[in-house]
Amino acid sequence: MTARLAITLIFAALLFTLLAGCIEEEAPDVQKVPVYGFRVVAFYPHDPEAFTQGLAYRDGVLYEGTGLYGGSSLRETKLETGEMVISRSLPPYLFGEGITLWEDRLVQLTWRSGIGLVWDIENLTVVRTFVYPTEGWGITSDGRNLIMSDGSSVLRFLDPETFQVRGKIEVVSEGAPLPRLNELEYIEGLIYANIWETDRIAMISPETGVVVGWIDLSGLLTDEERLRGDVLNGIAYDPENDRLLVTGKLWPKIFQIEIAPSE
């Protein structure tokens, strides 16, 4: 199942949920959210020392932001080989977080410093900085806004030029707020979000904040790889080839997956 087909199924599930809510007015917010499995299409080498905080992909190039004080970086790599083309280190007092592409720039958050970095995509040099009042976790773009998470259940929509907040939504799953939203990726009308310390990706309506589907990635790593790695964290989408890429902190591989019915 391709990502496009999966999204069609998810919207159908959402429509069913809404219709069921109209019929069963006594409990409109407790409809079960569909949970999907996965199929591995391919995998690619990944630096097992990279504490991955964000991924982005464009025109054959994979960009990765890594974290840890004294070890944070922004990297340009070749997906198929894992070869690092450019790597830029952040100052040791900054803990790198999520990244996203915006026009000819890369935007990178940091964790608790309240400082965002804007990089020139051509040579990976910082061209400006901006500030925000929350922690920085994940960031993506819907083509009009930057969408930012801070570890809570709230997503903020930012102006990509001024970085001022245009709006926000609270993410809700089965009637309850969903906290620990982490790395984000906007894919064909939905926000995909890693949920920190889980093997699940939430698929979120940007209009309502409602979770319309889950991808359960349990079992993606072998038991040995799981012992050496850390949590799932990293989502990138290649729209030209409809490829969904996922990885995690200290993982030895990047996986290209297809969404599949849960077994």
Domain spans, the chain? 3-261
Write down the pLDDT at residue 166: 97
**Which residues are CB-contacts of 201 (< 8 A; sequence separation ≥ 6)?**
192, 193, 194, 195, 214, 215, 217, 232, 235, 246
**Which residues are CB-contacts of 226 (< 8 A; sequence separation ≥ 6)?**
none
The model's pLDDT over 10-26, given as tens digits with 9 standing for 90+, comes to 444 444 444 344 433 43
The model's pLDDT over 177-201, given as tens digits with 9 standing for 90+, comes to 999 999 999 999 999 999 999 999 9
Q: Which two tokens stand for residue 209?
A: 């904040």
Asked if pLDDT for residue 34 goes beyond 90, the answer is yes
Return the closest-CA partner of residue 4 out of 262, 255, 243, 245.
243
Write down the pLDDT at residue 24: 39
Does 2.120.10.30 match the CATH number of domain 3-261? yes
Task: Give me the numbers of helices (H) and strands (E) for the chain, helices first please.
Answer: 2, 22
Return the closest-CA partner of residue 95 out of 73, 117, 69, 119.
69
Asked if pLDDT for residue 27 goes beyond 50, the answer is no
**Which residues are CB-contacts of 49 (< 8 A; sequence separation ≥ 6)?**
250
Beta-bridge mates of residue 39: 258
> Cα separation of 122 and 180, whole Å?
33
Kindly state the average pLDDT of the residues 217-233.
90
Please, which pLDDT band fits residue 213 given cuts at 50, 70 and 90? very high
Please, which pLDDT band fits residue 227 given cuts at 50, 70 and 90? confident
Residue with tokens 């960031």: 139
Write down the pLDDT at residue 263: 61
Q: Which two tokens stand for residue 25?
A: 């007015």
